Amino acid sequence: MTSETRPARVAFYNDPRLRGLFYQTLLFAVVLWLGYEFVINARDNLRAAKIATGFGFLDNTAGFGINQTLIPYTESDTYGRVFVVGLLNTLLVAVIGIVLATILGFVVGISRLSSNWLLQRIAGAYVELIRNLPLLFQILFWYLAVLGALPGPRQSISLMGEVFINNRGLFLPQPVFDAGSGVVAAAFAAGVLASIAVGTWARRRREATGRPFPVLWTTLALIFGLTILALIATGFPISFDKPVLRGFNFAGGARVIPEFVALLVALTTYTAAFIAEIVRAGILAVSHGQTEAAYSLGLRRGQTLRLVVIPQALRVIIPPLTSQYLNLTKNSSLAVGIGYPDLVAVFAGTTLNQTGQAIEIIAITMAVYLVISLVTSLLMNWYNARTRLVER
Amino acid sequence: MTDETANLAFARAQMAEALAPPAPTTGTLAWVRQNLFGGWFSTLMTLASLYLIWLIVPPVVRFLLIDAVWDGAGRDDCLAEKVGREVGACWPFIGAKLPQLVYGFYPPDQYWRVNLTLALGAALLAPLLIPRAPYKAANAVVFFGVFPVVAFFLLVGGVLGLEHVETRAWGGLLVTLVVSVTGIVASLPLGILLALGRRSQLPVIRTLSVIFIEFWRGVPLITVLFFATYMLPLFLPANWTIDALLRALVGVALFSAAYMAEVVRGGLQAIPKGQYEGAMALGIGYWRMMGLIVLPQVLKLVIPGIVNNFIGLFKDTSLVMVVSILDLLGQLRATFSDASWATPVTLFTGFAFTGLIYFAFCFGMSRYSLFIERRLNTAHRR
């Protein structure tokens, strides 16, 4: 029994370092082997089924029409262009959906915290109802039941004689920009720039002297005033091409296809319910002492909300909000269920059926969504690092 | 001098006029004033809300109950022109299509097998969910280990004289439940492994886990289903034919495993480091440390997260419709094409009924998750 310590003798298979190395090598080998098997099988299967490989199909003629395109597209265009058209359609519905869902979500979320009992209950019922029904169910409901029940073009529902709704879609007046509208656009831009300048100046002055400045009214006056002045000065160069009923359908104006309307309404209301919960949780996360302190400093209710509560709540709200934006973008792929020509419907659907090149097409489609996700989360990490609470 | 002081009145000579009593702060009237009419904005909101309720509730009640048609044999009974009155929900349509919505095209003389499976599942699940029921561990083993095997043979058949039923014939609520339960049962162990892998100190295992998790979380479920349906068969040897439902199940399981992994990781991070260190100090190895000390605490913590995941999965199963597997929603859509029931109210009736089923399941689960959350929170409640 000596007191000197000797390294305990451990069998080599009990050495955690060696064991870790062994497990990792094993896992790596298994993954490699699986990958090898997949590649070999894919090669044999493709050869047996006589399916072409590679990305050459992107230059082939697509030969099918798409009922909503943001860029010029004809049936004789290539699959590559189909991809771009689909991607743009996905981005269109995602961006508009994100804006609308954010607005609706904040309204509902704040309503859930309202002191008005009835409003609070209605907002709660909305959130519970929407969150507990599948999104595809809601998309189909809007598309088949609600929009499907709309009358034909001749019995269109008309809003003020300018906007028409029927089962062929939504018909809106389309703005036509004549010569001189550049001046109006420049005036609008100048108004926005001036507002930003005023806002910065007002904040500096408030921070230096504590005197407030009515930024909101100045901003509105600058933007709208300048634009309207420019409109009057140039003699209203912007006119509207109005939809007119000709025969069995509308001519002129801009047509929004019903698939887009159904998808947008469903995505917006669905995501808004989740955003409402995030907003509610975020505002509740700001301790009540902050509100009381703001009141005792003499800030009014609106000021307290705007200057004290919301900036702190945003720190809690933004990260989950971003993941809701991502969800909305990913969920826009449900468009395939009602035939809205998004990326999945026209590329992973029609193009895949025509060419049979499943590996390339699904890989491209997945890569697009992955890139969107990764870029968003990188931006998110950057934002989080910037707004992190600086503790002393 | 005495005269002046006599004229100065320091005290009241007569009683002050009584003030009006303060507005009541308790009771119905006060509650109404405080919560519905506290200020002009609140009043405006109350009026707007009342208008909204008046706009939505009476028509819905009229449609679902008052104007509804309760019995009939075909579309003529649900047509306003034929009946001669305003027509609401056409419930006979649901009555006629109920078997299709629940069982799909499962042979009618074999419905008992589906019923037995569902009853068995419910009987095993109920005691698992009730916190006070005994034998949790044994129950869990039976539910997660034995029940899936029994359910598989019961539903597919081909053994013990049971007639073989192709999965192509399955449909409706049956498929919805099969896909979601399989998804959750398969994704739980896989998710735990991935979460452990992501927290592992071994770089290769950690990297592979991160790549796997982030990949599946970054793509929409639809592309995963497309992947499983069109791409997976290409990767497997040519002589392997996989059932369409099974392919979708593989996709769903991989997809939900990634989400499950993140839920479990959240729980792993919430366990104090002392628990790990304590276990290591006692000389307990990695797997026993995880299995006996860490995971029991983690799983208890993340039950609400798992239930929320399950709600999401349950709702997402409706997407299998896109790869031509007709679940509840898919069957609903299929029933709409039946011309013998085509009326203006058929669509709304179908959506109302199916919506009620989905809502009942999801709402029930979310309430359960809240209940568990409150139960687990007892220690922190003041």
Mean pLDDT of A360-371: 89
Nearest CA in chain A to B362: A132
The whole-angstrom distance between A184's CA and the closest CA on chain B is: 37
Looking at domain B91-106+165-380, its CATH architecture is Orthogonal Bundle (1.10)
The whole-angstrom distance between A234's CA and the closest CA on chain B is: 41
The whole-angstrom distance between A277's CA and the closest CA on chain B is: 14
pLDDT at A134: 92
Contact (CB<8Å) A365/B223:
yes
pLDDT at B381: 45
Q: Which string of DSSP letters, residue by residue, matches B148-171?
A: HHHHHHHHH--STTPPP--GGG--
Q: What is the pLDDT along chain B (382 residues), one digit of tens a residue?
A: 455 555 666 777 888 888 888 877 778 888 888 778 878 888 888 898 899 999 888 888 888 888 878 887 777 777 877 777 778 788 888 888 888 888 888 888 888 888 888 888 888 888 888 878 788 788 888 888 888 888 888 888 777 777 777 777 788 888 899 898 888 888 888 999 999 998 888 888 889 998 998 889 888 998 888 888 888 888 888 777 778 888 888 889 999 999 999 899 888 888 888 888 898 899 888 888 888 888 888 887 888 888 888 888 999 888 888 888 888 888 888 888 888 888 888 888 889 999 999 999 999 988 888 888 787 766 544 4
Q: How far is residue B370 from each of residues B184, B256, B272, B311, B365, measured CA to CA in Å?
A: 19, 21, 24, 13, 9
Of A44, A131, A359, nearest to B231 by CB-CB distance is A359
- Please give the domain boundaries of chain A with CATH numbers for all domains: 79-153+258-387 (1.10.3720.10)
Contact (CB<8Å) A116/B201:
no
Q: What is the pTM of this model?
A: 0.85
Q: Which residues contact A188 (CB under 8 A, 6 or more apart)?
A: A223, A226, A227, A230
Contact (CB<8Å) B222/A128:
no
| A contact test, residue of B57, B231, B309, B336 with most A CBs within 10 A | B231
CA angle B133, B311, A279 (to 5 degrees): 115
Contact in structure between A122 and B52 (CB atoms under 8 Å): yes
* A257 phi and psi angles, rounded to 5 deg: -70, 150
Q: Assess whether pLDDT exceeds 50 at residue A1.
A: no
A227-240 residue pLDDT tens: 888 888 877 777 77
- pLDDT band with cut points at 50, 70 and 90 for residue A3: low
In angstroms, the CA A199 to CA A183 distance is: 24
Contacts with B50 from chain A: Cβ below 8 Å: 118
Task: Select from A176, A171, A175 the least CA-distant residue to A243.
Answer: A171
Q: Where are the extended beta strands (E) located within chain A?
A: 157-159, 163-166, 169-172, 174-177, 238-241, 244-246, 249-251, 254-256
Return the higher-pLDDT residue of A265 and A239.
Answer: A265
Mean pLDDT of A333-350: 87
B237's tokens: 């040897």
pLDDT at A5: 62
pLDDT at A126: 93
Q: Where are the domains of chain B?
A: 91-106+165-380, 111-164
Contact (CB<8Å) A41/B234:
yes
Contacts with B214 from chain A: Cβ below 8 Å: 373-374
Q: Which residues contact A93 (CB under 8 A, 6 or more apart)?
A: A260, A263, A264, A267, A332, A335, A340, A342
**ipTM for the whole complex:** 0.85
Contact (CB<8Å) B205/A23:
yes
User: What is the SS3 assignment for B213?
Assistant: helix
pLDDT at A6: 64
A129–B contact, CB cutoff 8 A: yes
pLDDT at A79: 86
Mean pLDDT of A250-279: 88
pLDDT at A103: 93
pLDDT at B330: 87
In angstroms, the CA A239 to CA A180 distance is: 12
Contacts with A108 from chain B: Cβ below 8 Å: none
Q: Which string of DSSP letters, residue by residue, matches A303-337?
A: HIIIIIIHHHHHHHHHHHHHHHHHHHHHHGGGGGG
A318's tokens: 């933004």
Q: How far is residue B167 from each of residues B175, B222, B248, measured CA to CA in Å?
A: 9, 21, 12
A113–B contact, CB cutoff 8 A: no
Contact in structure between B173 and B101 (CB atoms under 8 Å): yes
A291-309 residue pLDDT tens: 999 999 998 888 888 888 8
pLDDT at A297: 92
State the DSSP code for A39.
Answer: H
Q: How many alpha carbons lie under 13 Å from residue B134 in its C-beta half-sphere?
A: 0
Return the higher-pLDDT residue of A136 and A210.
Answer: A136
- What percentage of chain A has pLDDT greater than the value 90? 22
Contacts with B223 from chain A: Cβ below 8 Å: 333, 344, 348, 362, 365-366, 369
C-alpha dihedral, B219 to B221 to B225 to B226, nearest 10°: -50
pLDDT at A328: 92
Contact (CB<8Å) A48/B238:
yes
Contact (CB<8Å) A134/B321:
no
C-alpha dihedral, A359 to A365 to A366 to A371, nearest 10°: 140
Q: What is the separation of C-alpha B77 from the centre of its chain, rounded to a whole number of angstroms? A: 35
